[in-house]
Every structure is written in structure tokens, then in C-alpha cells.
Structure 1
């Protein structure tokens, strides 16, 4: 007696996952030159945590197309700390912060030059010179104009200056002295901005970026996610950056520092942070995307996954908070099979300045 073969069991779609191939199809469209819509960008942020591997795999296709497996390293120098008259609620250096941070005026030449040496030894492509201020005064402008040519001549580093709000004339002076790029983050969406700062506006920040662009420098601008904004706010910021033509996008994940108005803000999950990073890659496919402050705190053991969509990181500390030890970053990049690229082709892992 013959036994009838059993039919193949049917597998019902699991409603916890997005439709099979959905994110890959979005990546294919982006690579074909068709931007995704705001609704599609929002769908990435609203996706189930179970979709994270598929989202990252699709985002990696875009990242690899433009950047391969390269990783750019950035070094951040807090050249003037505290003493800021602005009331940015996330910032430990603002006038309303009670956080115990160092307070000092712009550092002297030798200190800025020594930090550039450390940046070079760590394999950084770009030295980021940052001051806390509404905007630079004449003494600070003169200090930057003096040190930038010396750093570039001695170490060959690209220079990114973050000096606050800039006039068109100040932007032209920075270009003339050799600054390659200016950082001025949008920080959030236009609609959310008044909830995190009242001493200047979103429009003020956009105007600074336009002044930078018109002066012939690259724009570095991103934001901070996890400040109580909606998912639609994060999407709006990503699209505003695309429309401005920003070349480099640092994405910070809020470190809710004690003593700031955002102290106690609920932490963003690693999965939500990864989805946001991927969304920025889909919306800004050919732009440098950097995992910035808060990656160690929020991504934790999932940090390597972020580099499947981002292509740069800061190596070392941030403005007033500690970063991961540089050697851990080098190991992470090597374990991924990625490679550091930039102005410095070789860097020393044995230097005392590297190991901190």
C-alpha cells in the first residue's frame, strides 16, 4: 500500500517582521538614484526590533557602494570649555547647566598643537577644534587663524572648526586660514528645537551652515537623538540635512548628563539607535555618517553593528565625557574586517598618547 506524501507545510507571514525584502528593495531604489520618501524613512524607525538585521544588511549595501569597508577616524579637542551663554538643554557647558565641567578660555598654541600630534598618532583624518560659545570673539578667531596653518603644515590633518554661530565674514576668514570644514549641528528638527534651546533658533543654525557653504568650506552637521523628540522629528532632521547638502553627518545619542535639564531622560535602546543610524544612511546615501557621542553608552556591545551603516567614528574622548579607549576602536574595526583610511596611512598603537 502506497503512502501519500504529506503536503509541504505553509509558513504564514510573521506580523512582527516587515514584508520579506522590503528594506532591500528600498536600498536598491536608493542605489538606482531614487530617494526614499519621508514615510519610508519613518517606516525604518517604526520597524520591529526583529527587523534590525535586515535593516542593517540593506543599509550596508548603500554604505559599501560609496565607502567600501573604510572607516574614517576623527579626533575632538575641547579647546574652550564651559562659560557658554546659550541655554542648550542637552549641554553640560551651557549657562543653565549645573554639571561640574572644566571651565577655561581657549587653550594656548602649544596645547592645541600637542593635541594635533595625538590626533595624528591615533590615525585621525580630521582634527576637530571646538569651543563653547554663542560664536567666536575676535581673540578666538585670531587664535584659530594662527594655529590652523601650523597644524596643517606639521601634521597634514584636515581641520574641522566648531565655533558656534558664524557670520559670513567669519566663515570667509576661516576658509582663508585653511579650515576645511565647519561643524554646526542642527541638533533636532525645526519643530522640536524650541524645546531644547531658547537663546537662538533653528533658523540661526541653518544660516550659519549657509555661510559656511557660501565661503567654500564643507559642512559638518548632524544632531542628537533621544532628547524626547518624535520619530518624525528625527526623519525631518535627516531630510533637512540632505536638502542642505551637508557633507558629513555626526549622529549623537543623548548622554543625559546629571546637572543638565535633560538629566533623567529615558535612554534610547541600542535597537532604536541602530535603526536611526540606518535611516540617516538611506536618506543621505553618499554622505559621511559618523557615530558620535553616546555610542559607548547606548550601543554598548552592539557598537560594531553601527559601522555597517556608518563609516566614521571619533577616536578618544568627547567634549566633557569619556569615549572608548582608542585600542578598543582599532580592535572593533579590525574584527569587522574594515580598515582605517584618511590623511594618516599609519598610526602607532604603542604610543603613550594612544592608550590613555
Structure 2
């Protein structure tokens, strides 16, 4: 590390001091974080929390996700239950109509989520689908005080411009893994295709949301490479997913994560991207298990309710976890007091 510490227990506080002074961690330091002894984890989390607190206090931002189009995908991403070749038993339906998407916005508002995420399977949307989503977003914006994040696959310039004009705040398009490992998980589009979609989204004036999936057989070096690629892109939000191996997918037998490694990965992303929102995303319940709450010492946002084709922890349990930490849920700049009664979520529909 740049400044020598007297012991392994103090080196993480030393690194946090440097990051808070504007220092950017190196690749070797990133690997040190991931490869650190489990005995150092509590000290690492304490140091990481100082960075999180500097930029985000004790605030937690909630996201509510709507699977707007399920299955029927021509892409072969190995982790995905909706991919071509997947035998996973999931609902399959085309783009939800306006009523169903508005129901999702209502559920997001009732869940006290600041951001409503509209996600659609497929390589990329048709112009007709983009126009449909844009039209619904305009109605959502006139009805609810919600930020909108769309994840629709590969976008061209005209599509990105239309979404921005409709009021979409942010585009999600995850890198998922490193350049070197990407062809091990997908062959139907390239890493550069994903970079290009992020570029057109930014050029259209929207914020970027881009992250990865940890636990797909990649090396610690791959995770660090992805961390630094994201640092160069400067996304506003970085979702850190942990592989939830789904029966019927090509990665169904991959199960290599433990909660401690997941926490180290969250520490890595916070130390490498101190001012970015770090979100604990898919797979947190399966992989962090009883240590979920500890992830919020590094991350400052999370999904509430369900994911695309898998169930999440109940909203009540999420709110209780946040309250137990003494943290506050933030909605459009307003705090929800810790210990207040959690909102009740409407059930998500899995049909058009």
C-alpha cells in the first residue's frame, strides 16, 4: 500500500484515510482486499464504512424492480434464467401493457423506493417497445415522484434519446464481468457492445448504472479488472450482484461464494469508487445470508421485494434490517424514520 501500516489490523484504516484524501487504490491493493484473511474482515468493514459515511451518511436508497418482459431472449448469457437454451421454469411473456407497468410504479411508490427499475429481456428493444416504455414513463412521471431506471438491452442513439426525452433518469447495462472473462459467459454479443450502449446512454444525457455479477467462475483478478473498468466509466450507481445459481441455466452447478468473500467484494467496490452509489443487488439473500446487514456498511442502496425471476427477502424484513442498523431510508431527499412501520407491497404480477 502507498503508506506502510504497522500491522494488518491498521492497514485498512490507513487505506481509508488515503481514499478520503483523494487517493485512488491500485490494482494490487484491490487484490489485497479480495484476498485478505477473514480475520481482517471486521477492520476492513469499519474502514470502508468511514468512506461510505463520508459520501452517503447512514442513508439507504431503495430500488423496486419490475420484470417488464420475461424470457423469450435470443442471447445465451450463462447466468440468466431467461437466456436462450435455459431450461429454467420461469414465466414467459412479452412487454407488459401500460396498466401493468403503472401497477409496478404504484408498488414502487408504496414501497418507499426512490427509483423504479423497468427491465426487459432480449438483445435490445424494438423502436415500438421503446415508444411504449417512453409513453408509460411520461405517465409515471406525471403521477409519482419516482426516478426511472430502464434496463432494455442494447440501445441505439435514437432509442436512447427518446427515453431521455420521456424522463428516464438512468440506464442500467451491466458489464457483468471482465473483458478477458466475458466470452466465457456470453457469445451472442460482445463486451464492446455493452460499452457502446453505456456510451449512447451517457451521450443522450442519462446517468449510468452498471455493475457486475460475482461468483461466475471468474478470478479475483477479473473482479478487480471490472472494478477499474467501472471506475473509468464513472457510473452513478454500481449494482453488485452475487450469482444465484438457477437450475436449468448453464451455471446451475456453480456455487463458490461465501458471505465473507461477498463482503470483501463490496468493500473493494466502495474503496475503488468512493462517490458512486454501491447497490447490493441480486443474490444477496442467498449468498450473504445472515450477514446481509453487514453489507450496508459498504453499500448504500439495495433492491426491495423481488428480482427478475427469483424471490427476494420481504420488504418488512428489509426495513427492520435497516432500522436495526440505525440507518435511514431516503426517498426523493426525505428520510423515513428508522423504526417506522414498513410499507406493504402490492404483489408483483408475472403475466401481461
TM-score, structure 1 normalization: 0.93
Task: Work out whether 1:258 is the aligned partner of 2:242.
Answer: no
Higher Rg of the two aligned structures: 1
Determine if the alignment matches structure 1 residue 127 to structure 2 residue 120. Answer: no
- Distance between the aligned counterparts of 2:341 and 2:292, measured in 1? 23
| 2:17 paired with 1:28 | yes
Q: Does 1:105 align with 2:94?
A: yes
Matched, 1:190 2:179: yes
Corresponding residue of 2:34: 45
Cα offsets for 1:168-203 (capped at 9, x unmatched): 221111111110000000000000000000000101
- Contact 1:18/1:47 (CA < 8 Å) preserved in 2? no
Take 1:75 and 1:168, find their aligned partners in 2: how far apart are those partners?
A: 27
Provide the residue aligned with 1:212 in structure 2.
201
- How has the CA–CA distance of structure 1 residues 257 and 25 changed in structure 2, closer, same or farther, with 3 Å as cutoff? same
Quick one: distance in 1 between partners of 2:91 and 2:7?
A: 47
Q: For 1:191, what is the secondary structure of its paired residue?
A: coil
Could you tell me which residue of structure 2 aligns to residue 270 of structure 1? 259
Partner of 1:136: 125
Deviation (angstroms), 1:83: 0.3
Shift, 1:344, TM fit = 7.6
2: CA distance, partners of 1:32 / 1:303: 29
Q: Distance in 1 between matches of 2:144 and 2:333?
A: 9
Measure, in 1, the Cα distance between the counterparts of 2:295 and 2:232: 24
How many residue pairs are counted as aligned between the two chains? 340
Pair 1:116 & 2:105 matched: yes
Asked if the contact 2:127–2:159 (Cα under 8 Å) also holds between the matched residues in 1, the reply is: no
Partner of 2:50: 61
1:77-88 equivalent positions in 2, closer than 5 A: 77-88=66-77
Change (3 A) 1:352 1:76: closer
Contact 2:316 2:343 (8 Å CA) reproduced? no
- How far apart are the structure 1 equivalents of 2:255 and 2:330? 36
Instruction: For structure 2, list consecutive stretches of 5 or more residues without a partner in the other structure.
Output: 1-5
What CA distance in whole angstroms lies between the structure 1 residues aligned with 2:192 and 2:302? 28
Per the alignment, residue 149 of structure 2 pairs with: 160
- Give the aligned partner of residue 221 of structure 1: 210
2:222 to 225, 229, 233: 233
1:139 Cα deviation after fit: 2.1
Equivalent position of 1:9 in the other structure: none
Q: Give the aligned partner of residue 280 of structure 2.
A: 291
175, 181, 190: which is aligned to 2:170? 181
Pairing partner for 1:331 from 320, 324, 340: 320
How many angstroms does 1:108 deviate by? 0.8
Q: Distance in 1 between matches of 2:236 and 2:17?
A: 22
Partner SS state of residue 128, structure 1 = strand
For residues 201 and 355 of structure 1, what CA distance do their matches in structure 2 show?
32
- CA distance in structure 1 between the partners assigned to 2:39 and 2:189 by the alignment: 40
| Rounded Cα–Cα distance in structure 2 between residues aligned with 1:77 and 1:290 | 17
> How far apart, CA to CA, are the structure 2 residues paired with 1:119 and 1:344?
16
CA–CA distance in 1 between the matches of 2:300 and 2:315? 16
CA RMSD of aligned residues (A): 1.7
- Counterpart CA distance in 2 for 1:300 and 1:352 is 22
Shift of 1:351: 3.4
* Corresponding position: 1:72 with 2:65: no
| Corresponding position: 1:94 with 2:94 | no
* Structure 2 match to 1:10: none
Alignment partner for residue 306 of structure 2, among 314, 317, 320? 317
Change (3 A) 1:224 1:313: same
SS at match of 1:317: coil
Tell me which residue corresponds to 1:248.
Answer: 237
Structure 1 equivalent of residue 3 of structure 2: none
Name the structure 1 match of 2:134.
145
Offset, 1:342: 2.0
TM-score (structure 2 length as normaliser): 0.94
Contact 1:73 1:313 in 2 (8 A): yes
1:75-111 per-residue CA deviation (whole Å, 9 max, x = no partner) reads 0000000000000000000011010111000001111
